[in-house]
Each structure stands twice: as C-alpha cells, then as structure tokens.
Amino acid sequence: MNEIIDILTELHDDVDFTTETGLVENGILNSLDIVAIISEIDDRFDVQIPAEEILPENFDSAEALWALVQRLDEA
C-alpha cells in the first residue's frame, strides 16, 4: 500500500493520496500518469495490469489500486 502511495506521490507531490478517492474522476490522473503507474507497478510488483482493467474505479484511489494489484497477483 505504501509503495503505491510512493508511486503516486512521485507523479504528483501536491496531492494527499491517502484520502483522495476521485483521482480519475477529478482529473488528477491523466492517461500519461496511468501508463506511468502501470509500468511502475510492473517494475516493482511484477504485476501486469491488462487493458481491460483500466477503469476509473480501479484508479480512483490508492486503496482501489492496491486492491487491484492484490487481486491480479492472487490469480
């Protein structure tokens, strides 16, 4: 979870990712950021997020993202 926050903070250091739950909806993350996040997650967790999982609800908060990573890693 903390690692996710790290990844996100690297992209936008002015956002409090522990509380924000509308990252996509409020336009904080754009497509550039999402691709960057996906590649970071691949590097750090060895988890490949497929295209079909690029949905607002999976990227709207650090928590949701963490849940996605865990789910994909669980298999």
Partner 1 sequence: MSFTSAAFILFAVLTLLIYYTVPKRGQWIVLLISSFLFYLSAGGWYLPFILVTILSTWLCALGIRRRDRLDEDYLAAHKADMTKEERKAFKNNAKKKKRPYLVGGLVFNFAILGVLKYTGFVLSGVNDLLAIFGSKGVTVPSLILPLGISYYIFRSTAYLIDVYWGKTEAEGNIAKYALFISFFPAVLQGPISRHKDLAPQFFTPHNAEWSNLSEGGLRVLWGFFKKVVIADTAMIAVKAIVASPDTMTGMYVLLLIILYSAVIYGDFTGGIDVTIGLARMMGLRLAENFDHPFASRSTQEYWNRWHITMGSYFTDYVFNPLSISAPMKKLSKWSKDKLGRGVGMRLPVYLATLITWFLTGLWHGASWNFIVWGLLNGAVILISRELSPLYAKFHKKFPSLKDRAAYGGFCAVRTFFLMGTIRILDCYRDVPVTFMAFGSVFYDFASWGDLAGGKLLQSLGLELWQCIAIALGTLVVFLVSHRSKTRPVLTEISERPWLFACSCAVLILVILIFGCYGIGFDAGDFIYQTQF
Among 1-9, 17-25, 46-54, 58-66, the segment contacting partner 1 (CB under 8 A): 46-54
Q: How far apart are CA 72 and CA 61, in angstroms?
A: 17
Q: Which of 18, 21, 30, 70 binds partner 1 (CB under 8 A)?
A: 30
Q: Both tokens of residue 52?
A: 């079909």
Helices (H), 1-75: 2-11, 31-45, 56-59, 62-74
Among 1-9, 17-25, 33-41, 60-68, the segment contacting partner 1 (CB under 8 A): 33-41
Q: How far apart are CA 13 and CA 18, in angstroms?
A: 12
Decide if residue 52 touches partner 1 (CB under 8 A).
yes
Nearest-approach distance from CB 71 to partner 1, in angstroms = 12
